[in-house]
Chains A and B, each alone.
Chain A
Amino acid sequence: MRAALTTLGIVIGVAAVIAMMEIGNGSAKAIQHTIATMGAYNLMVFPGNALMSGVSTGSGGSMRLTPEDAEAILTDCSSVTAAAPVVWARAQAVYNNLNWQPGNLLGTTPSFLDVRDWSEMAQGNAFTDRDVRNCSKVCVIGKTIVRMLFMDESPIGKEIRLMNVNFKVVGVLKAKGANMMGSDQDDIILAPWTTIKYRVTGVSATAAVPVATTTTSILPSQVYPAAQASLYPVPSASQQTDTPQPVRFANVNAIVVQARSADAVKPAIDETTALLRERHHIQPSMPEDFTIRDMTEMVRTMSSTTELMTTLLLIVAAISLVVGGVGIMNIMLVSVTERTREIGLRMAVGAQSGDILHQFLMEAIVLCLIGGAVGIALGRTTSVLVRMIKHWPTVVSLGAIVVAVAVSALVGVLFGFYPAWKASRLDPIDALRYE
């Protein structure tokens, strides 16, 4: 009975540690996942600067990224879980008598949704890789578009017109809200990059404009006309000999890449850089013709969040174990007092002070270990209950269990030592006479 009470302190301590660790780890995982869906692991590969007649075009000037680059990044870089090429365009979206300029009109592949953790659809499905190959006129739209063009009726199967090309809506993206900069992420239309590239932006450069000019509105193709006109700078003779590849018409504006985890962001950058340098035949001394950007701020947020959680858990664990340890010490001291006569007797029949110390220390350690074992069971039960009742995510933490056992043994030694030492210092004469 007394031993059971003694161990209760440690039981509670260890149970608290285990439960906190599992629930806390689960929460940390959930928070990490949430931040990840915000795009914290994302990398953006942009084409580099092009220098033409002494004029720098800034980032995105030279169009040397291809969809094949995206595929190669996905297959060859181990730290990368998804990669998608992106082509952007600007166009007025028209449905019946409503029109809207989407904030983002992106041509891409289905893996874009993996990169952005956006695979779950509110309605319908994403377009497929076959759609990309076939230049299908299909698109997936965000919630804002649904509200603006369809007045919240179901858009699935309906057609919206972009630059005089009709796109069938096959899916509606789940609402994602504003991003960290405050711009609306749901104001988006996604379509196969081939369709955007060859049917929308390609057309705008040539003959499509007059068809729409009968209306009074100014088409966006007139507002932003020039970007597409100089899409394919004619390589000079020397450039052509430097790059023996055929001229690629399938250039993309960017490649978005998702790294495996927060820690994998750095390796992903290094691997992607190495791969693209090789694919683009860049000499070691030459600067890259692309730039890679990561979400440093978000990654920092995430690691500081994780750190905070870990520290919090450690403090809670330490406090509960110290409380448990003090409980053990308390009851061991009571036990030493109660067993004074027994100690005296053991000394009288020849126990040396070391033997007594050893005995009481072992008792404390055994109590702590038993307490630790019960605590592990209790902690696991608690975390399972929490998961079942509150639906909180929990993660079984083997490390926490190992640490809890080690620490409960340590607590046994630390807090058992003083009572044991006190017992071993007793004078056998006084101890025998003790009432």
Chain B
Amino acid sequence: MALLELHEVCKTYHLGEMDLQVLKGVTLSVAKGELVALMGASGSGKSTLMNILGCLDRPSSGEYWLDGQEISGASADERARLRNRLIGFVFQSFNLLARTSALDNVCMPLTYGLEYIHEHEMKARATEMLRKVGLADRMDHQPSQLSGGQQQRVAIARSLINRPRLLLADEPTGNLDSRTSEEILQMFRELNEKEGLTIILVTHDPEVAHHAKRTIRIRDGLIAGGAESKGEETQK
């Protein structure tokens, strides 16, 4: 069963008089447990598609099914709740809170959760996550005291704290050197293989895309390849 499914999704921006159609009917699906790369040149609509996938934006038309729900019509607050519950984000520039310890950075998404979690349990879960990404001894460090690779690992721990269905990584290695990039990508692979986490890597780097099992290419607002998961393609 597909975790997410886009059907004829369009996105149009209104810039004054002019309408700019960025996505021109995107149809794709990603199954549970996949590690997919989303590739495209800048200006291809890649970022817009990622924003829609991440529930940060909503499509102008078309359907978006995420985890069995049609969410293209969800309000801003409903989407915030979906993001909190279902989606983990990893950004190119890490986006950690400055002057805040790694532990508190990881705890942060929990404070916006629907159900109340005791602070003690928050800390326990955050500690667990940091251990998983190999930063058990850096928990009280602030982002400025960590290297780029360590910062990105804190960000990954943060994205996993709410046990999301989908991990959306936007150029996760863009600010890292090749060796740490390799480590981070390795970590994504392990998460995908050991825990069955669905991961979408948004990138323009073929090296990175190479780590994925499937690559979705987007060009000029349309899917240029890899829209269906291989499993489903073979079924057809």
Footprint of B on A, CB under 8 Å?
Answer: 341-342, 344-355, 428-429, 432
Contacts and interface: CB of A to CB of B under 8 A. Distances in A.
Given A341-B95, A345-B95, A346-B112, A351 B80 contact: yes
Nearest to A348: B89
B80 A347 contact: yes
Nearest to A350: B84
Given A346-B112, A350-B112, A428-B56, 15 more contacts: A342-B97, A345-B91, A345-B97, A347-B80, A348-B54, A349-B89, A349-B112, A349-B159, A350-B84, A350-B113, A350-B162, A351-B80, A351-B84, A352-B77, A429-B56
Nearest to A349: B109
A331 to B, nearest CB: 18
A350 B77 contact: no
Main secondary structure of the interface of A (DSSP, over half): helix
A387 to B, nearest CB: 42
Given A348-B83, A350-B109, A350-B162, A429 B57 contact: yes
Contact of B112 (A341, A342, A351, A428): A351
Nearest to B51: A429
Contacts of A349: 83-84, 89, 108-109, 112, 158-159, 162
Interface in B52-76: 54, 56-57, 76
Contacts of A348: 54, 56, 83, 89, 95
Contacts of B91: 345, 432
Nearest to A424: B76
Contacts of A351: 80, 84, 112
Contacts of A428: 56
Query: What's the interface size class on B, roughly?
Result: 20 to 34
Contacts of A354: 77
A352 B84 CA distance: 10
Main secondary structure of the interface of B (DSSP, over half): helix
A429 B170 CA distance: 12
Q: Which A-B residue pairs are the 8 nearest by beta carbons? A: A350-B84, A349-B109, A350-B112, A352-B80, A352-B77, A345-B95, A351-B112, A350-B83
A352 B113 CA distance: 10
10 contacts: A344-B95, A345-B91, A348-B89, A349-B84, A349-B158, A350-B81, A352-B80, A352-B81, A353-B80, A432-B91
B95 to A, nearest CB: 5
A341 B95 CA distance: 7
A348 B90 CA distance: 10
Contacts of B83: 348-350
Contacts of B56: 348, 428-429, 432
Contact of A350 (B57, B80, B97): B80
B35 to A, nearest CB: 21
B54 A352 contact: no
Contacts of A352: 76-77, 80-81, 112
A353 B112 contact: no
A342 B113 CA distance: 18
> Among A341, A348, A432, which residue has the most Cβ atoms of chain B within 10 A?
A348
B214 interface: no
A353 B158 CA distance: 20
> Among A342, A352, A354, which residue has the most Cβ atoms of chain B within 10 A?
A352
Interface in B173-211: none
B106 to A, nearest CB: 11
A98 to B, nearest CB: 88
